[in-house]
């Protein structure tokens, strides 16, 4: 069910149990008020009951069949022999109930004949006992086999879909990934749960059919008893009320409940420092108690718990009365045909009834999850079918023409470019009709206040985003619209260094070396990049040097450890897989080192630097910019900065931005003489280093 628009959401004035229908929509829904929750359910499921819900599930099964078939083929291809063995062991688990009914019934009849005649047939009893023991042995072995094979196959399937989903996520471009509608809910472990769940459901169906065929053919049971024995589980299914397997949306608009949950969140460790330093713990406790009192007795359990609550005992009575029908059947038979019924027959009928009831309950439970399994499988495959918004070009970069053989850098031109970020709530565009030219080999500095559009220019030049097709203008690279180039080629010729760049949960060497993935194992190149980026000292002080893991995956955990009794174990746990603390300045040095590693590809024609030194001290910032400027040969260099310092004095062009537009451009001296926006921003910073008065 697609999410309703804000206009179609309930207004919040319905009484408990009231509903509101959305008319003339294929996806029409009703709203149910349950405790603090509002539940949005498709009309057909609310009003149609079990018949409509069953039709809905059957239709979903038919529609999902091609995807499910593809899914099972993939799982089978991962390990055909293991897959077939797993299915065979599950199949035996369903057939065993029929075998046990036959073996136990035969044993009871042999014993009854022996007791009646006063001469037990020892040989027949021993044979029946042996058959029973063989069944027990085979069943136990099969269960062990399932328990042994299942984790191996589960690991194989989960690892395959982990890889599948990782590729799908890495494939997304920036605007596509930023679109919340493209944020898949698929998880790799859903693949195994779906495979195992569907196998269970269809194996249980096979097992139930086997039982029905066997029981309906037995002399003391027959078709009538078989139908009677099915009454209770069928009645339970008809009267079942469940939310967690139905398509629905649940949300709460109860202010007291929302307040309660917000205050609970403040108990998390991420707020601890602020709470202690601000002394607000007592206030949080008082507000929490106030919200709890305001909530009163309104139900706040999970929505499906509230939905399943019955208002009368009638349904439960009907289910229990129908469960008594098998007992009434053999009791009436004992009255009407006493010579045809024995205690053994009654015991066997009770076995049949219990077995059918158990099998049907398991089957209904399994098939109630089929819809979710199908949805999860479809979600898995949909993750790889998301189409990126940025369309790749087909032109190689750099071009092979003679004028581009000797690189002087990248020539960049923006022609009447306007841009607004997808989904942006602001009324203002990030860029408004910008036109500018950056000659190849020049050093450009872009300055301006926060939100003026500086970083947006970088994102368009590096094609993290595209300008809109209609009236959005064009970004021209070396005389050709940027959309015509192959993105992989274009990005091989670009290097970016921004404050948004993060450290990876890998070794120090890999964090630096991934600037040049093909040489990520080249220690000599990595050490040189670390030195150029200013991270050499950080690497040197680490116990494991370049092999230091910055943020290892945590796999260690403790269970039921007492603080007094298990001090040693707790101490070991605290030391295992400790994260390496890296300061903001050290992070920026490592990221800068990654950029210097990228320079060693000898393919870089454009360097974009966007506020990468916010955590560096003045000397560190000066040294970084100097080293970057020293690599300028054959590159166009664009620096985005708030801190003017020495950098603007070396710039070939300074672009001063405000409200998404370039309002001034020129050299440092030219812009100071104009006494405009640039001069104003520069003087504000310069005053911090000028003694304005004598104390």
pLDDT exceeds cutoff 60 at 602: yes
**Nearest Cα to Cα of residue 168 among 183, 181, 189:** 183
The DSSP-derived string for 475-523 is EEETTEEGGGB-HHHHHHTEEEEETT----SSBHHHHHHTTSGGGTT-H
- For position 77, what pLDDT does the model report? 94
Residue 53: count other Cβ atoms within 10 Å of its Cβ.
20
**Which of 4-13, 42-51, 385-394, 427-436 comes out lowest in average pLDDT?**
4-13
Give me the residue label for tokens 């029409």: 28
User: What are residue 639's DSSP bridge partners?
Assistant: 445, 609
Please indicate, yes or no, whether residues 305 and 342 belong to a single structural domain of this protein.
no
Residue 570 lies in a domain: no
Three-state SS annotation for 368-386: HCHHHHHHHHHHHHHHCCC
Residues 6+ apart with CB under 8 A from 459: 174, 465
Residue 366 lies in a domain: yes
> What distances in angstroms separate CA 115 from CA 49, 109, 110, 313, one per listed residue?
52, 10, 9, 45
Helix (H) / strand (E) containing 461: helix 454-461
Please indicate, yes or no, whether residues 215 and 351 belong to a single structural domain of this protein.
yes
* 173-177, 191-195, 197-201, 419-423 — most confident range: 191-195
- For position 79, what pLDDT does the model report? 93
Residue 9 lies in a domain: no
Query: Cα–Cα distance between 141 and 138 in angstroms, integer?
Result: 5
Q: Supply the pTM of this predicted model.
A: 0.73
Domain-ending residue, one of 269, 285, 314: 314
Residue 91: count other Cβ atoms within 10 Å of its Cβ.
16
Query: Cα–Cα distance between 230 and 359 in angstroms, integer?
Result: 10
pLDDT exceeds cutoff 90 at 2: no
Please indicate, yes or no, whether residues 290 and 178 belong to a single structural domain of this protein.
no
- Domain of residue 684: give its range: 390-493+604-688
pLDDT exceeds cutoff 60 at 46: no
pLDDT exceeds cutoff 50 at 375: yes
Please indicate, yes or no, whether residues 136 and 156 belong to a single structural domain of this protein.
yes
**Cβ atoms of 414 and 475 closer than 8 Å:** yes
Cis peptide bond upstream of 398, omega within 30 = yes
Calculate the CA 257 to chain-centre distance.
26
Rg, Å, the chain Cα set: 36
pLDDT exceeds cutoff 50 at 694: no
Please indicate, yes or no, whether residues 276 and 345 belong to a single structural domain of this protein.
no
- For position 529, what pLDDT does the model report? 93
Q: Is the dihedral of CA 640, 642, 645, 648 positive or negative?
A: positive
**Nearest Cα to Cα of residue 415 among 459, 474, 462:** 474
Domain-ending residue, one of 355, 383, 411: 383
**Cβ atoms of 458 and 637 closer than 8 Å:** no
- For position 615, what pLDDT does the model report? 67
The CA-based dihedral angle spanning residues 549, 550, 551, 557, taken in that order and rounded to the nearest 10 degrees? 50
Domain-ending residue, one of 337, 363, 383: 383
- For position 637, what pLDDT does the model report? 94
> What distances in angstroms separate CA 371 from CA 53, 65, 331, one per listed residue?
11, 11, 41
**Which of 69-83, 565-579, 599-613 comes out lowest in average pLDDT?**
565-579
Please indicate, yes or no, whether residues 335 and 419 belong to a single structural domain of this protein.
no
**Which of 536-545, 639-648, 657-666 comes out lowest in average pLDDT?**
639-648
Query: Cα–Cα distance between 597 and 527 in angstroms, integer?
Result: 9
Percent of the chain with pLDDT over 90: 29
Residue 363 lies in a domain: yes
Residue 14 lies in a domain: no
> What distances in angstroms separate CA 190 from CA 77, 161, 193, 418, 468, one per listed residue?
18, 9, 5, 43, 38
Chain segment 626-649, per-residue pLDDT in tens: 888 888 889 999 999 877 767 888
Residue 675: count other Cβ atoms within 10 Å of its Cβ.
10
Please indicate, yes or no, whether residues 235 and 270 belong to a single structural domain of this protein.
no
322 compared with 534, residue with greater pLDDT:
534
Query: Cα–Cα distance between 644 and 660 in angstroms, integer?
Result: 19
**Which of 7-11, 185-189, 367-371, 549-553 comes out lowest in average pLDDT?**
7-11
Residue 48 lies in a domain: no
**Nearest Cα to Cα of residue 583 among 609, 608, 614, 554:** 614
Q: Report the CATH number at residue 460.
A: 3.40.50.300
| Number of DSSP helices (H) and strands (E) in the chain, helices first | 25, 13
Q: How confident is residue 49, by pLDDT bands cut at 50, 70 and 90?
A: low
Give me the number of domains the chain comprises.
3
* 353-362, 537-546, 552-561, 686-695 — most confident range: 537-546
- For position 74, what pLDDT does the model report? 93
**Nearest Cα to Cα of residue 487 among 399, 395, 415:** 395
Strands (E) located in 383-498:
412-419, 431-438, 443-448, 474-477, 480-481, 494-498
Q: Report the CATH number at residue 235.
A: 1.20.1560.10
Mean pLDDT within 408-431:
84
Q: How confident is residue 401, by pLDDT bands cut at 50, 70 and 90?
A: low
- For position 81, what pLDDT does the model report? 94
Please indicate, yes or no, whether residues 290 and 204 belong to a single structural domain of this protein.
no
Mean pLDDT within 660-689:
87
Residue 406 lies in a domain: yes
**Nearest Cα to Cα of residue 412 among 439, 445, 444:** 439
Query: Coil, helix or strand for 451?
Result: coil
Mean pLDDT within 213-236:
80
Q: How confident is residue 656, by pLDDT bands cut at 50, 70 and 90?
A: very high
Mean pLDDT within 294-305:
84
Would you state the structure tokens that stand for residue 441, as one six-digit string?
Answer: 């080999």
**Nearest Cα to Cα of residue 37 among 312, 298, 260, 242:** 298
**Which of 218-232, 241-255, 566-580, 654-668 comes out lowest in average pLDDT?**
566-580
Query: Cα–Cα distance between 260 and 493 in angstroms, integer?
Result: 53
Mean pLDDT within 399-424:
78
Burial class of 173 by CB neighbour count within 10 A (0 to 12, 13 to 18, 19+): middle
- For position 158, what pLDDT does the model report? 92
Opening angle at CA 458, ends 453 and 464, nearest 5: 110
**Which of 23-27, 210-214, 621-625 comes out lowest in average pLDDT?**
23-27
pLDDT exceeds cutoff 60 at 685: yes
Would you state the structure tokens that stand for residue 415, as one six-digit string?
Answer: 């022609």
> What distances in angstroms separate CA 311 from CA 36, 314, 493, 609, one per listed residue?
18, 9, 69, 66
Please indicate, yes or no, whether residues 187 and 265 belong to a single structural domain of this protein.
no
Please indicate, yes or no, whether residues 485 and 631 belong to a single structural domain of this protein.
yes
Average pLDDT, the chain: 81
- For position 622, what pLDDT does the model report? 82
Helix (H) / strand (E) containing 642: none
Query: Coil, helix or strand for 245?
Result: coil
Would you state the structure tokens that stand for residue 326, as one six-digit string?
Answer: 């098998």
Residue 592 lies in a domain: no
Chain segment 456-513, per-residue pLDDT in tens: 999 999 999 998 766 689 999 999 999 999 999 999 999 999 878 888 888 899 999 9
- For position 64, what pLDDT does the model report? 75
Please indicate, yes or no, whether residues 378 and 402 belong to a single structural domain of this protein.
no
The DSSP-derived string for 172-218 is --HHHHH-GGG-----HHHHHHHHHHHHHHHHHHHHHHHHHHHHHTS
Give me the residue label for tokens 């910032």: 621
Query: Cα–Cα distance between 386 and 52 in angstroms, integer?
Result: 32
Chain segment 236-267, per-residue pLDDT in tens: 766 666 665 567 788 888 888 888 888 998 88
Three-state SS annotation for 570-636: HHHHHHCCCCCCCCHHHHHHHHHHHHHHHHCCCCCCEEEEECCCCCCCHHHHHHHHHHHHHCCCCCE
pLDDT exceeds cutoff 70 at 124: yes
**Which of 36-50, 246-260, 531-545 comes out lowest in average pLDDT?**
36-50
Please indicate, yes or no, whether residues 360 and 412 belong to a single structural domain of this protein.
no
């Amino acid at each position: 069910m697609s999410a309703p628009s804000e206009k179609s959401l309930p207004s919040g004035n319905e009484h408990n149990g009231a509903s509101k229908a959305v008319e003339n929509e294929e996806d029409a829904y009703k709203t149910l008020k349950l405790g603090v929750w509002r539940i949005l359910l498709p009309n057909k499921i609310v009003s149609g009951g079990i018949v409509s819900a069953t039709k809905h599930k059957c239709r979903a099964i038919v529609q999902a069949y091609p995807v499910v078939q593809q899914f099972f083929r993939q799982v089978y291809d991962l390990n055909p022999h293991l897959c077939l063995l797993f299915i065979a062991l599950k199949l035996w688990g369903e057939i065993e109930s029929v075998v046990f009914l036959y073996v136990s019934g035969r044993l009871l009849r042999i014993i009854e004949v022996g007791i009646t005649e006063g001469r037990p047939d020892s040989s027949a009893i021993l044979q029946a006992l042996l058959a029973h023991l063989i069944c027990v042995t085979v069943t136990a072995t099969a269960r062990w086999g399932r328990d042994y094979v299942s984790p191996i196959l589960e690991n194989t399937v989960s690892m395959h879909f982990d890889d599948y989903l990782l590729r799908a996520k890495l494939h997304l471009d920036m605007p596509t990934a930023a679109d919340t509608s493209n944020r898949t809910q698929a998880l790799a472990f859903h693949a195994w749960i779906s495979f195992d769940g569907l196998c269970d459901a269809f194996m249980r169906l096979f097992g139930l059919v086997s039982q029905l065929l066997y029981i309906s053919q037995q002399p003391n049971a027959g078709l009538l008893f078989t139908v009677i024995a099915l009454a209770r589980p069928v009645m339970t299914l008809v009267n079942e009320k469940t939310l967690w397997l139905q398509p629905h949306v649940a949300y709460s608009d109860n202010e007291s409940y929302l307040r309660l949950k917000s205050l609970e969140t403040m108990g998390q460790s991420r707020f601890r420092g602020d709470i202690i330093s601000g002394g607000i713990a007592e206030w949080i406790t008082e507000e929490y108690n106030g919200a709890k009192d305001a909530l009163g007795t309104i139900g706040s359990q999970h929505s499906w718990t509230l939905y399943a609550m019955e208002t009368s005992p009638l349904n439960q009575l009907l289910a229990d009365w129908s469960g008594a029908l098998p007992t009434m059947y053999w009791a009436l038979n004992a009255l009407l045909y006493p010579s045809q019924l024995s205690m053994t027959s009654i015991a066997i009928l009770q076995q049949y009834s219990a077995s059918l009831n158990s099998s049907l309950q398991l089957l209904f439970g399994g098939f109630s999850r089929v819809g979710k399994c199908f949805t999860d499988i479809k979600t898995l495959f949909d993750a790889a079918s998301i189409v990126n918004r940025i369309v790749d070009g087909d032109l190689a970069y750099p071009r092979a023409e003679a004028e581009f053989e000797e690189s002087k850098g990248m020539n960049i031109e923006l022609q009447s470019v306007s841009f607004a970020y997808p989904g942006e709530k602001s009324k203002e565009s990030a860029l408004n009709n910008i036109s500018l030219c950056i000659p190849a080999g020049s050093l450009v500095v872009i300055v301006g206040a926060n939100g003026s559009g500086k970083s947006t220019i970088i994102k368009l030049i590096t094609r993290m985003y595209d300008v809109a097709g209609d009236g959005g203008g064009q970004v021209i690279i070396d005389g050709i619209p940027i959309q015509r180039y192959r993105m992989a080629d274009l990005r091989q010729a670009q290097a970016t260094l921004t404050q948004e760049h993060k450290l990876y949960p890998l070794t120090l060497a890999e964090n630096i070396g991934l600037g040049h993935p093909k040489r990520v194992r080249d220690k000599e190149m990595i050490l040189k990049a670390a030195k150029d980026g200013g991270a050499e000292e950080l690497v040197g002080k680490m116990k494991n040097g370049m092999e230091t893991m910055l943020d290892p995956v945590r796999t260690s955990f403790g269970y039921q450890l007492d603080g007094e009794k298990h001090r040693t174990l707790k101490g070991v746990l605290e030391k295992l897989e400790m994260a390496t603390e890296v300061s903001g300045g050290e992070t920026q040095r490592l990221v800068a080192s990654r950029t210097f590693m990228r320079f060693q590809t000898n393919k870089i024609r454009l360097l974009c630097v966007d506020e990468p030194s916010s955590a560096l001290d003045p000397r560190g910032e000066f040294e970084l910019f100097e080293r970057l400027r020293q690599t300028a040969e054959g590159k166009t260099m664009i620096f985005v900065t708030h801190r003017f310092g020495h950098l603007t004095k070396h710039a070939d062009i300074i672009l001063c931005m405000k409200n998404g537009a370039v309002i001034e451009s020129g050299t440092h001296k030219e812009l100071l003489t104009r006494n405009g926006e640039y001069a104003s921003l520069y003087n504000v910073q310069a005053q911090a280093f000028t003694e304005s008065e004598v104390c």
